[in-house]
Structure 1
Amino acid sequence: MSRNPPLSRLLPFPVVDEAWRLALVPALVAAVTLPFLPPVGILALATSLGVLWFHRDPERTPPEPEAAVVAPADGTVSVVREEGERLRVGVYMSATDVHVNRAPIAGEVREVRHRPGANRPAFDKESERNEQVAIDVGEYELLVIAGWFARRIHPAVEAGDRIERGDRVGHVSFGSRADVVLPTDVDREHLLVAEGDSVRAGETIIAERE
């Protein structure tokens, strides 16, 4: 995922490129209104800074062992269930979580699919009918699901890309969920997380593999 180093140096934290475009309108409103309508200008400035903070993109270092499966997102584990012969682990990203998604396992992207849908709250069990982007890596699949407010999912990979464990694979704006449908060789005895656990993308080990 590309970032803009010159602009990022203006902040105490790095952000994704999309953040600058989204923050531009409230920043312009702040510049125009601050001299004449200070309360409106301050609110617009706070909104602009809030958008940048929401889209922060910290560095992450995947832990050993290399075979371990890491979390695809920051947030709270909201789904752990069997789907046929495979396990699905979903992570709900709240408004305060980092919304950059990372590869839980290395592999080659076979396909990136977009599916339109509803916009239920990401923590709702019906949210799996929401708009989503599926990143198919063959032995596993990563599903980024939009929330009620989110309307923009930004995959950063395409078919044929080689991704390493912990690599950035995209981000989503304003509330969402990221689910990984694990390989068939991962079952419940390999899981290290349960519903309600807090995880960090690219760093928390959610399952072991031999």
Structure 2
Amino acid sequence: MTDIYESIRRLFVPIRREGYPFIAIAFAAAVILGFFWTPLFWVLLIVTLWVCYFFRDPQRVTPVRDGLVISPADGRISMIADVVPPTEMGLPELPMLRISVFMNVFDCHVNRAPVDGRITRIAYTPGLFLNADLDKASEHNERNALVIETEGVSVGVVQIAGLVARRIVDWVKEGESIATGQRFGLIRFGSRVDVYLPTGTQVLVGVGQKAVAGETVLADLRGTEAPRMYLAS
């Protein structure tokens, strides 16, 4: 019975309330347009189910240990590089390690805190809607940046709207404490999240690797191992 219960629980994942209006619109369109042409009903019903899937909010099991940096988003590790963080974050204009996670429209878009600590800054910046997989999206796209103070260092998290995304939703405020893996926002329909860490932080993932928000360990602030190499297979 336990296995059956777990299977059912995984199938019926909770849906964020932010998705309710989109689900209602998609279903209404299916009913109205389907009245005039039946095949449209079935096509739009599939779209409605996809919208439900997009706004899913599954439970995650977050590894907890001092120094661990957890992925804030589901998706693919698209870039790992030392770059100067966006000016609106108020961080020193010196290179930091940036790990980018690109989300496609089939990934869960609920974002989670990569570390625990206190949120010292939240900065929203309007901008363009370029393909979030492009490097220049970090500077030109609409974005929302958080700075979290943890273990005496500043960790930046930037939600970046993409080619399809048109709305960044934020659920936290400056001055609040946040726990690793805690939900702090979402981005609607395809986007990217960048994590900024002190230069020299030990990276534990590779470009192209799949990350799971709240579960995949991206880096270790206390790590002293040599950098890892990743080979595609």
Bin of the TM-score, shorter chain as denominator length? 0.7 to 0.9
2:158 alignment partner in structure 1 = 143
Change (3 A) 1:118 1:33: closer
Query: C-alpha displacement at 1:66, in angstroms?
Result: 4.1
Larger Rg belongs to = 2
Query: What is the alpha-carbon distance in structure 2 between the residues aligned to residue 161 and residue 64 of structure 1?
Result: 20
How far off is 1:109 after superposition?
A: 1.3
How far apart in 1 are the matches of 2:29 and 2:76? 35
Q: Aligned residue for 1:39?
A: 39
Task: Provide the rounded CA distance (Å) in 2 between the counterparts of 1:176 and 1:33.
Answer: 30
User: Aligned partners of 2:137, 2:96: CA distance in 1, in Å?
Assistant: 20
Q: Give, in whole Å, the separation in 1 of the partners of 2:95 and 2:162.
A: 27
Give 3-state SS (helix, strand or coil) of 2:136's partner.
helix
2:181 and 2:67 map into 1 onto residues whose CA distance is 12
> 2: CA distance between counterparts of 1:50 and 1:85?
39
- CA deviation vs aligned residue, 1:62-112 (integer Å, no higher than 9, x gap): 114343111111111112111335211110011111111110000111222
C-alpha change, 1:56 and 1:142, in structure 2 (3 Å) is same
SS in 2 for 1:150: coil
Structure 1 length as normaliser, TM-score?
Answer: 0.88
**Matching residue's letter, 2:69:** V
The 2-side partners of 1:36 and 1:87 are apart by 55
Give the count of matched residue pairs: 198
* Aligned residue in 2 for 1:193: 205
Gaps of 5+ in 1: 1-8
1:90 aligned to 2:100?
Answer: yes
Instruction: Name the SS for the 2:122 alignment partner.
Output: strand
Q: Percent identity?
A: 34
Q: State the secondary structure of the residue aligned to 2:25.
A: helix
Structure 2 gaps of 5+ residues are 1-8, 84-93, 223-233
C-alpha contact (below 8 Å) 2:64/2:180 kept by paired residues: no
C-alpha distance in 1 between matches for 2:180 and 2:156: 13
Task: Report Cα offsets for 1:162-187 as digits up to 9, x if no partner.
Answer: 110000010001110000111x3x62
- For the residue of structure 2 that corresponds to 1:76, the secondary structure is strand
Structure 1 residues 35 and 119: CA distance shift in structure 2, 3 A: closer
Helix, strand or coil: the match of 2:29?
A: helix
Alpha-carbon separation, structure 2, partners of 1:101 and 1:16? 12
Q: Look up the match of 1:208.
A: 220
Structure 2: distance between partners of 1:41 and 1:169: 35
Q: CA RMSD in A?
A: 1.8
- 1:179 paired residue number: 194
SS of the equivalent of 1:48 reads: helix
